Chains A and B, each alone.
Chain A
Amino acid sequence: MQKAAQYSLLLLFVFSSHFSSVFSQIEVCKTCPIKTIKEGIKQAKPHQKVTVKAGVYKEHMILIDKPITLFTNEKVTIDGEDKDDIIQVLADSVTIDGFKIINVGSSHVTDYSAIRVDRSKHFLIQNIELRNIFFGIMLAKAKHGTIRNVNVYGDAVHQHSSGNAIHLWHSNHILIEHNTLVKSRDGIYLEFSDDCIISNNLSKDNLRYGLHFMFSNRDEYRNNTFENNGAGVAVMFSKEIQMHDNHFQFNWGSASYGLLLKEINDADIVGNTFEQNTIGINVEGTNRINYKNNTFKRNGWAIKVNGACYENVFTQNNFLYNSFDVSYNSKMNNNSFNENFWSGYTGYDLDDNGFGDIPYRPVKLFSYVVNRTPNTIILMRSLFVDIIDFSESVSPAFTPDNLMDERPLMKQVK
């Protein structure tokens, strides 16, 4: 009995000492015994919380090699003084919360970044502001992490000397949400990264793409806004990507797209809005993609198909006042365009079933002419062009004759 009591006492002692180390937190401030974040991390035991008090900390290469929480709820700036990586996460279960990180070094050899997560799992990075960066947050072979509420304000000028705001390389199951990414090279870049979810982000004024997928499968992005980026959003060489309820707007320029699809199979593009882009969606080599409930409004080209696209289905979309609804560069067509609303449709619905009685041909002859001789764009909306478009639509000679909406909707899809 006495022995048991002794044991339990010992057990209690062991536990309490362990717990006290977990619950007690390490404080870092300019007047504390621990003055640098590096020192704070060194002193911390696994699963302990390191709280940083207000101030500017000129540190770089802060290595986090054990599972800790690096936290602040005050105004803390970590200044990397343009040297190299600022924070490197090398352990699992690390949380970084509440910092402003500035001045990442830039290099043509190494991808310096504000926060680098290397081969770690279950990390959480949130409430971070990054300024004057090269790469912002870099994940390399990381898994099951969350990046939330990160605001990146880059100052990229040239593509070759700038980095991406959030960069994923071989990283799976990452959640990226509620971030604002401005003026970097790519807003978010995924390479070989599967099963990620990207939602509610704002990505704008980036030099290259707002969001960029390369060789990444089964990812999902929804409710994001992509605005005024160099070339919009690019999804390349990827499979089974889900694209829902995003806004693509004001991507203007000769090589500028709302969305660029290249070598994409089995994706769903649902409920997105494309507004005033030079090209809404540029499609090349895509198979079995469902386009549903999207709205294309006042784009130069709503959809530009550049060939090698098979068994794509466009249905229940709104095409509103685009200069060109659909543009094709060949006479072949294997895609279906039924049951969409086209603002250019002039037919009637005598049997009152909600579908127009005569088919609509979205590909205009003039879009062919413009493809061939781009200068002719200056003749858009000319009466002569309307006449040749009309005669082509009566008897198609250049446009794919089976490319038509046989059941065009009479009312806009809500």
Chain B
Amino acid sequence: MLKILKYSFYDLIRSRWSYVYLLFYLILGFVLLFLNNDLSKAVITLMNVIIILVPLIGTIFGVMYYYNSKEFTELLLAQPIKRSSIFIGQYLGVALSLVMSLVIGLGLPFVLYGLFESSAIWDFSLLLITGAMLTMIFTALAFNIALYNENKIKGFSYAILLWLFLAVIYDGLFLLSLIIFETYPLDKFTLIATVFNPIDLSRILILLKLDISALLGYTGAIFNQFFGTSIGLFSALGMLLLWIILPVWNIKRKAQKKDF
């Protein structure tokens, strides 16, 4: 598995798109810092960017990589290598190279602008952790979609649809249901509904850092316990981890059974 991981990783590192992705984050980081020079404000702006953009790029990259390296995968399948190590290796190769672009691309400008002397370092590390987790989650989901769909076009459209659904439509439906059922006690429903969307989960991690004063304005015991203590932070991180583990486990399961 490590060998395949290494191969995919180096393959991707040498590809043009990784550089474009890296460059994008470098430019974004430098421009943001150049424009306002205030680390904590730049972190806030980046948080908004990351929860939307990282999932999109993770999904597209994942699907693209799977379809592009399909022939190579079939060649590998003919060799005496475990199926799970082929697919998990490829997945980790893609995910880790994306994570690396993200961490270097955003880390470099911030370090150069004096991150280590700044109080924003915790917010920034939370930002990077959230970004890394979102990359892992959405690459895994993309691999799942690709495994289930032989047709490239269909696979791509499903991937885009998945992103659109989780990034925008889900919140719309969520908001609508909260308003329609506003006469009912919705505390638990609200918290549970966020768990089913990794983008919402990451958003809440960020809210806990930025808007805690507004969040505490709501009178609900469950809410206050969730937001007011470290329970919120840890349960959200735990759920994100679960969001990585489950799709990866499904990649493994599906790959074992799939007829190539």
Binding site for B on A (CB under 8 A): 252-256, 276-279, 298-301, 321, 323-324, 369, 372-385, 387
Contact = CB atoms under 8 A, between A and B. Distances in A.
Contact of B52 (A376, A379, A383, A385): A383
Nearest to B187: A375
Given A375-B178, A381-B48, A301 B218 contact: no
Contacts of B168: 383-384, 387
10 contacts: A252-B216, A254-B216, A254-B217, A276-B213, A300-B215, A301-B217, A323-B214, A373-B182, A377-B214, A380-B215
B204 A378 contact: yes
A379 B187 CA distance: 13
B214 A324 contact: yes
Contacts of B174: 379
Contact of A380 (B172, B182, B207): B207
Contact of A301 (B171, B179, B206, B214): B214
Contacts of A256: 216-217
B215 A377 contact: yes
Interface string B224-240: 10000000000000000
B211 interface: yes
B172 A321 contact: no
A105 to B, nearest CB: 36
Contacts of B47: 381
A171 to B, nearest CB: 35
Given A375-B218, A383-B52, A384-B171, A323 B213 contact: yes
Contact of B179 (A321, A323, A372, A384): A372
Interface in B191-231: 191, 194, 200, 203-204, 206-207, 210-220, 224
B213 A277 contact: yes
Contacts of B224: 254
Interface string B22-58: 0000000000000000000100100110001000000
What are the nearest 4 A-B pairs in CB distance?
A: A300-B214, A323-B214, A384-B171, A254-B219
B175 A384 contact: yes
Most chain B CB within a 10 A radius of its CB, from A254, A279, A379, A380: A379
A374 B213 contact: no
Contacts of B211: 300, 323, 380-381
A374 to B, nearest CB: 5
A381 B206 contact: yes
A375 B213 contact: no
Contacts of B191: 378
A319 to B, nearest CB: 14
A374 B190 CA distance: 11
B167 interface: yes
Contacts of B203: 381-382
Contacts of A252: 212-213, 216
A321 B41 CA distance: 8
Nearest to B174: A379
Q: Is the interface of B mostly helix, strand, loop or mixed?
A: helix
A376 B178 CA distance: 7
B218 A254 contact: yes
Most chain A CB within a 10 A radius of its CB, from B213, B216, B219, B220: B213
Contacts of A374: 217-220
Contacts of A254: 216-219, 224
A382 B206 contact: no
Interface residues of B, number: 37
A379 B175 contact: yes
Most chain A CB within a 10 A radius of its CB, from B41, B169, B175, B207: B175
B186 interface: yes
A387 B224 CA distance: 28
A146 to B, nearest CB: 36
B213 A373 contact: no
Contacts of B217: 253-254, 256, 278-279, 300-301, 374, 377
A31 B179 CA distance: 77
A387 B164 CA distance: 13
Given A253-B216, A255-B219, 4 more contacts: A300-B211, A378-B190, A378-B200, A378-B207
Nearest to B41: A321
Nearest to B186: A375
B178 A385 contact: no
A366 to B, nearest CB: 9
A293 to B, nearest CB: 21
Contacts of A255: 219
B216 A278 contact: yes
Interface string B94-114: 000000000000000000000
B219 A384 contact: no
B175 A385 contact: yes
Most chain A CB within a 10 A radius of its CB, from B52, B167, B172: B172
Contact of A278 (B48, B210, B214): B214
A198 B209 CA distance: 35
A227 to B, nearest CB: 14
A274 B220 CA distance: 25
Nearest to A376: B178
A251 B23 CA distance: 42
Interface in B141-184: 167-169, 171-172, 174-175, 178-179, 182
B127 to A, nearest CB: 13
A376 to B, nearest CB: 5
A277 B210 CA distance: 12
B228 to A, nearest CB: 9
A274 to B, nearest CB: 11
A53 to B, nearest CB: 50
A376 B179 contact: yes
A301 B218 CA distance: 12
Contact of A369 (B41, B52, B179, B216): B179
